[in-house]
Amino acid sequence: METNFEIIDAHIHPFIYEESNTKFFDSPTSHEDFFADLALAGISKSCGSVIRRLERPSFGDIKSLNQEAIDLKNLYPDIYIPGINVHGDFPQESCAEIERLYKEENICWIGELVAYFMDYKNYASENMFQVYALAQDLDLAVNIHPYGLDEIGKICQNFPELKVVLAHPTSASVTIKERCDFVKKHSNAYLDLSGSGVFRYGMLAHGIKTAGKHKFLFGSDYPICNPHMMIEGILFERLSDDEFEAVFSGNFKALTGIE
């Protein structure tokens, strides 16, 4: 299947250094291959954080991941939008990092935050609430790999103007429906389709019928998952052109202000 829709991938994990490469198998082996693969899939822009499994990290480790993302932005200014990392054990340092990168690099996206990779466990802690308060003030979107919907609900309720993007629909039909109901319930919650993708046929059409076309963003979780497969799964759903356009790029643009 072919598409003339612009495609923005809201959920990738790029890398410069091999220790930040989240591939499961043999490729990609370089950032050149990484972005060439996305282009081959028909993706014109992409956004996401550099991640690396850390144990008892210092905030210097977090800053190094953010610097890798900024270096990639400088290498690919027209196609890569950096998502930055913060850490629940370092709220003041995280806020200072957000303010610095907002001022110097015009960041618009935090995450995907992957707490189990970064060795912290609670997204809805008092420490993280300091981070969300600043993100809300700066009108930044936050992309979170959730442990459960209860903690994400606390974030949405305490920060009603914060743009909260859940990562992954999951592959269980019950959980998919729960997440669609969740983003319908919370006006500031959205769901990116990365990871498990449109795993159950008809799930995206169901989600749009339940919560609205503005609630879902295309994402791949590349290089863990195949971006072209994710695109084809969406194209095989029975959606209107307006719905395809919203999911593939329009909703990301609306959340970030990026044209």
**Residue 100 belongs to domain with CATH number:** 3.20.20.140
The first and second tokens of residue 158, run together, are 């305490």
pLDDT for residue 147 is more than 60:
yes
Residue-level pLDDT at 244: 98
Question: What number of other Cβ atoms are within 10 A of residue 116's Cβ?
Answer: 10
* 212 occurs within a structural domain: yes
Question: What number of other Cβ atoms are within 10 A of residue 246's Cβ?
Answer: 24
The first and second tokens of residue 85, run together, are 């990392």
pLDDT for residue 141 is more than 90:
yes
* 2 occurs within a structural domain: no
Domain that holds residue 25: 8-256
Number of folded domains in the chain?
1
Residue-level pLDDT at 160: 98
- Rounded to whole angstroms, how far apart are CA atoms 234 and 203? 10
Map tokens 């991640």 to a residue: 51
pLDDT for residue 1 is more than 60:
no
* 30 occurs within a structural domain: yes
pLDDT digits (tens, 9 = 90+) for 79-98: 999 999 999 999 999 999 99
Q: Tell which wins on pLDDT, 1 or 229.
A: 229
* Residue 171's pLDDT band (cuts 50, 70, 90): confident
